[in-house]
Amino acid sequence: MSLKSRLSRSELTIGSWVTLGHPSIAEIMAAAGFDWLVLDMEHSVLELSEVQSIIQVLDGKQCPAIVRLTSNHPDQIKRVMDAGATGVMVPMIKSAAEAKAAVDGVYYPPRGQRGVGLARAQGYGNSFQAYRQWLDENAVIVVMIEHVDAVKAIDSILA
């Protein structure tokens, strides 16, 4: 069962953070039984190439990789999704419009605004349609509520 399905059923899942760029660290953590791992690009020195290598290792262990971004920028969202991330964790969301922008960055039209790339996630062009279906069924988007303005707008953000 996918992480998204488990979360939608309110099942308990246990995960952890990866802040060091060596794929073996993530491999050991996945083998330890975590249900998901967050690759923290916001408060670590992880680079995109390291993130992709870690995602590849986690795919082999069937451990979903959620990438904590540095911002809610569609260019960063599509790059980590193209690298094969299961989803994104977007910091400092303060409004429904910002939450919608995060969703738009993950999904292709008509659901979102993400541009088409033929990278790792899409099988370098060999499995775009399968990826598109996988994305609709499995992508996880976590918006971080870290500001009083977000707390005041929580209902509209969750909508």
pLDDT tens per residue, range 66-116: 999 999 999 999 999 999 999 999 999 999 999 999 999 999 999 999 999
- When pLDDT is cut at 50, 70 and 90, the band that residue 10 belongs to is very high
- The set of catalytic residues is 43
- The verdict on residue 158 lying in a domain is no
pLDDT tens, residue by residue, 82-94? 999 999 999 999 9
- The verdict on residue 82 lying in a domain is yes
3-state SS of 67-98 is EECCCCCHHHHHHHHHCCCCEEEECCCCCHHH
Mean pLDDT of the chain: 97
Q: pLDDT above 70 covers what percent of the chain?
A: 100
Residue 156 structure tokens: 């509209």
Domain of residue 36 covers 3-151
Q: Which of 141, 142, 140, 138 is nearest to 2 (CA)?
A: 138
Q: What CATH number has the domain bearing residue 105?
A: 3.20.20.60
